[in-house]
Every structure is written in C-alpha cells, then in structure tokens.
Amino acid sequence: MSQTCVQRTHTALQKIAAAGDEGARIFTKVYTESAHAEAVAADARAALGISLSPMDGRIVSIKDLFDVAGEATTAGSKVMRDAPA
C-alpha cells in the first residue's frame, strides 16, 4: 500500500530536520504547519476521489530564485532576508 500524503510529508520534514545545519542551508524556510495542513486536506480529497490537479498532494520545494506571493525573494542571500515581500 502506498503512503499517504501526511506520511510522505512527515518523512520529508523529518529528513530536513535530521540534516541539521545542512538541512537549514538547503531549505532556507520550511512551512511545517502549513505543509501538514495541506497534506491532511489532500488526503481527505483523495479519500473522496477528488483531485485539484496532477500535483495535488505532491511535496515540492521552491528555489528561492522564484517569486512567491507574500515572501521576499532572497536568492539565498542573508543580505536580502529583510527585503520587501
């Protein structure tokens, strides 16, 4: 049986945390609470046979070179951390 989205998300978050300082360098920001909430919602939709898109329930990371609404695009630079979103 395949893992649920919640299980996959939990595993991914554990691996990021287990990587310590290296995980923090790779993933400059981790949205733990919203990732869990989205995983729960995706599993609930899947149980009802509903999918929002082919990416629904998939785990993604977004490189900090791309603009995301409400977030500063820092390109990994500490100098840009306080840039306007």
Residue 79 has pLDDT above 90, yes or no: no
Residue 53 is predicted with a pLDDT of 95
Distance of CA 22 to the CA centre of its chain: 17
Residue closest to 28 by CA, chosen among 72, 59, 58: 72
Q: Enter the tokens of residue 18.
A: 């287990």
What gap in Å lies between CA 22 and CA 81, rounded to an integer? 19
pLDDT (tens digit per residue) in 33-60: 999 999 999 999 999 999 999 999 999 9
pLDDT (tens digit per residue) in 8-27: 999 999 999 999 899 888 88
Residue with tokens 């998939």: 58
Residue 71 is predicted with a pLDDT of 80
pTM for the full model?
A: 0.77
Q: What are the distances in angstroms from CA 60 to CA 5, 35, 39?
A: 12, 10, 12
